[in-house]
Homo-oligomer: A and B are copies of this chain.
Amino acid sequence: MTFCFDLHATDGSARAGLLHTPHGQVATPVFMPVGTQAAVKAVSPRDLDDLGATVVLANTYHLYLRPGDERIARLGGLHTFMGWDGPILTDSGGFQVFSLSQWREIDAGGVTFRSHVDGSAHRFTPEKAIAIQENLGADIIVCFDECAPPDDYDYNVQALARTHAWAQACQAAKTRDDQALFGIVQGGVFADLRAQSARFLTGLGFDGYAIGGLSVGETKEQMHASLEAVDPLLPADRPRYLMGVGTPQDLVECVARGVDMFDCVLPTRMARTGTALTRAGRLNLRNARFADDPAPIEPGCACYACTHFSRAYLRHLVKSKEILAHQLISIHNLHLLLTIARELRQAVMEGRFQAYREEFWRLCE
């Protein structure tokens, strides 16, 4: 097994660790930039490297539909295909099947759905999701799961039964020994279901545990309660990955609740609307008040955008619909998330997580 996780330090529930993968090590807590279609939007692999990104995400559902996982396998796998030789994580496609497909029908064995690209019919089963991810060849793959509406208890009970059966099926279907497989804890906003899911998946034994179905409309309190329900139940020597989260604030508060890994489209998606993330809040760079502002997005920020360009210039690029706006604001936004993850790790290593957390919130607007 080329995959393992060393826990270097804890501070309360906050953890600092090191993931070992076939394509390199990942210090945690870590923020993983999202490359849905095998490309982080508007950011090249060399820019990601320059940002200190250590692991990126790609999406099973999207790549299966286009350009096709078998094509990517023929072309040498996802690392070669997308020009990123560091670690990659592919999600299972579960979330996208439930949120993006034009039509879907769930049964005990899997999900039949129509592509959002061309309306064609497809079926994902646990076995299929694993086969696709083995073709893609990421370092970390995850089980196929059902993303249920977070606040319907009865539905979550049924969905959880399917998700658990599919987790077993994924485990059985896996054939490559150079990929880590993560189970996905589900259960909506219900602490008892979350705990049940954590216990069940821990019993099966995975290389890591994803926590899914959060940041989909529930309150922060509900998200935090769900994390608190599973934190004591997940094994200390396995990484925990909170899917689709989050904001700078989320990173701090979820590391406080035992999370090691994060991914979110927020930094790149916000960038494409002209919005920059800062520690103090968000800047809408379309705003006329930035037209003559010579300051960088965030004074003191060491990113390429902040060390070379003013808010006035970035506003001009946004207003003029220049692609460079997406590139530069994406770089800044990713830099912020990656930096906060590194700071969180350092704070845990030095036993001052709580002080870091308090100072972080003091700076927020």
Contacts and interface: CB of A to CB of B under 8 A. Distances in A.
Contact of A294 (B43, B46, B75): B75
A42 to B, nearest CB: 4
Contact of A37 (B39, B42, B315, B316): B316
Contacts of A40: 324
A205 to B, nearest CB: 36
Nearest to A304: B46
A251 to B, nearest CB: 25
Contacts of A71: 291-292, 312
Given A74-B292, A75-B312, A327-B327, A37 B320 contact: yes
A236 to B, nearest CB: 38
A44 B66 CA distance: 28
Contacts of A45: 308
B317 A44 contact: no
Q: How large is the interface on A (under 10, 10 to 19, 20 to 34, 35 or more residues)?
A: 35 or more
A45 B66 CA distance: 32
A43 B309 CA distance: 14
Interface stretch (A76-84, A170-178, A222-230): A76-84
A38 interface: yes
Contact of A324 (B43, B76, B313, B317): B43
Interface in A284-334: 291-292, 294, 304, 308-310, 312-313, 315-317, 319-320, 322-324, 326-328
B292 A75 contact: yes
A220 to B, nearest CB: 31
A67 interface: yes
Of the candidates A42, A74, A320, A328, the one having the most CB atoms from chain B within 10 angstroms of its own CB is A320
17 contacts: A37-B317, A37-B322, A39-B320, A39-B322, A40-B324, A44-B304, A44-B327, A46-B308, A67-B316, A67-B319, A74-B292, A75-B292, A75-B294, A76-B294, A83-B309, A83-B313, A327-B327
Given A39-B320, A44-B304, A83-B309, 11 more contacts: A37-B322, A38-B313, A41-B324, A46-B304, A46-B308, A66-B316, A67-B312, A74-B292, A83-B308, A323-B323, A327-B327
